[in-house]
Amino acid sequence: MAPDHPAAPGRPRAPGAPPAPVRRDAAAALAATGAAVAAVAVTTGLGPAGTVLSALAALAVTGAVVRSTTRRSAEPYGPADRVTVARSVLVSAVAALLPAGLAPVLAGAPRPPEPWCWAVVALALPAWLLDGLDGRVARRTGTATAAGARFDQEVDAALILLLAVAVAARLGLPGAAWVLVIGALRYLYLLGLRVRPAWRAPLPPSGYRRTTAGIQGGTLIGALVPWIPLPLAAAATAVALVLLVASFGRDVVGLERRARAGTPEG
């Protein structure tokens, strides 16, 4: 399928090269990531080592986004993808903040400073609230693609992983390391695909799955709000984890049943 914005007449795009809008958005995302890292370094007083870790964490997110968009060739890059790229910049800013909150915890502090928690909430909340916007834009503009849906899912997964680390730090490490399971389940499932091909079959639409996925982000963000007592934050996070494990388990059991029944894999 042709890209949304073909190259200008007289300047054909080289085979395999991303279109100009993709390059512009990728450059903007990288520039915004650099600004976020610089802001974190200045406002948190991170030393050289902390700044390097902050930059690496942020660039890991932005680099994956840039790679995903610039390497896409079979499906167009549309307005919904731009929304997802914008969300990914917020996620990369959360990643840039992570070392500033973890450093005092690893140094012996009981939990990260409250201003850090508020900063993570301020960045993560709009990224979470805008989650459904890219899908609506894709449907309304008729530009929904499988690649765009996967792109959106991976940005969501990165946000949940970062929030899980932040919440574990606020609840107290190493005792709250169980929170990391919320962020790791998606990636463990992807690893499972390598050893269990039956899990590659398409999953039927599920309101329970969508609701459970939405609950994770909201619960983790809420657990970071300093006004929320730690016992309440821990209890809510534990409930969210149980729901998530049940959702993954439900899907895996369904896939295994279909495989045993001889249903062709998608």
The model's pLDDT over 178-214, given as tens digits with 9 standing for 90+, comes to 999 999 999 998 888 888 887 777 777 778 888 898 8
Predicted local distance difference test score (pLDDT) of residue 16:
56
Query: What are the tokens at 221?
Result: 């963000």
Is the pLDDT at 17 greater than 70, yes or no?
no
DSSP string, the chain: ---SSPPPTTSPPPTTPPPHHHHHHHHHHHHHHHHHHHHHHHHH---HHHHHHHHHHHHHHHHHHHHHHHT--SS---HHHHHHHHHHHHHHHHHHHHHHHHHHHHTT-SS--HHHHHHHHHHHHHHHHTHHHHHHHHHHHT---HHHHHHHHHHHHHHHHHHHHHHHHHH-TTTTGGGHHHHHHHHHHHHHHHH-GGGGSPPPP-HHHHHHHHHHHHHHHHHH-TTS-HHHHHHHHHHHHHHHHHHHHHHHHHHHHHHHTTPPP-
Across the range 164-178, mean pLDDT stands at 95
**Candidate from 6-15, 160-169, 187-196, 230-239 with smallest mean pLDDT:** 6-15
CATH class of 20-260: mainly alpha
Q: Are 30 and 61 in contact (CB under 8 A)?
A: no
The pLDDT of residue 193: 82
State the average pLDDT for the chain: 85
* Residues above pLDDT 70, as percent of the chain: 90
| For residue 28, pLDDT beyond 60 | yes
- What pLDDT, on a 0 to 100 scale, did the predictor assign at position 81? 84
Q: What is the pLDDT of residues 50-69, one digit of tens each?
A: 899 999 999 999 988 888 88
> What is the spatial distance between Cα 199 and Cα 193, in angstroms, rounded to a whole number?
6
| 45-54, 73-82, 88-97: range with lowest mean pLDDT | 73-82
Tokens 């996070």 found at: 237
Residue among 60, 121, 126, 128 nearest 95 (CA): 60
State the pLDDT at residue 92. Answer: 96
Distance CA 143, CA 106 (A): 45
Q: What is the pLDDT of residue 8?
A: 34
pLDDT of the residue at 218: 95
pLDDT in tens, 84-117: 889 999 999 999 999 999 999 988 889 999 999 9
Per-residue pLDDT band at 80 (split at 50, 70, 90): confident
At 88 the pLDDT is 92
pLDDT over 70 at 3, yes or no: no
Whether 217 shows a pLDDT value over 70: the answer reads yes
Average pLDDT of span 117-122: 96
pTM above 0.85, yes or no: yes
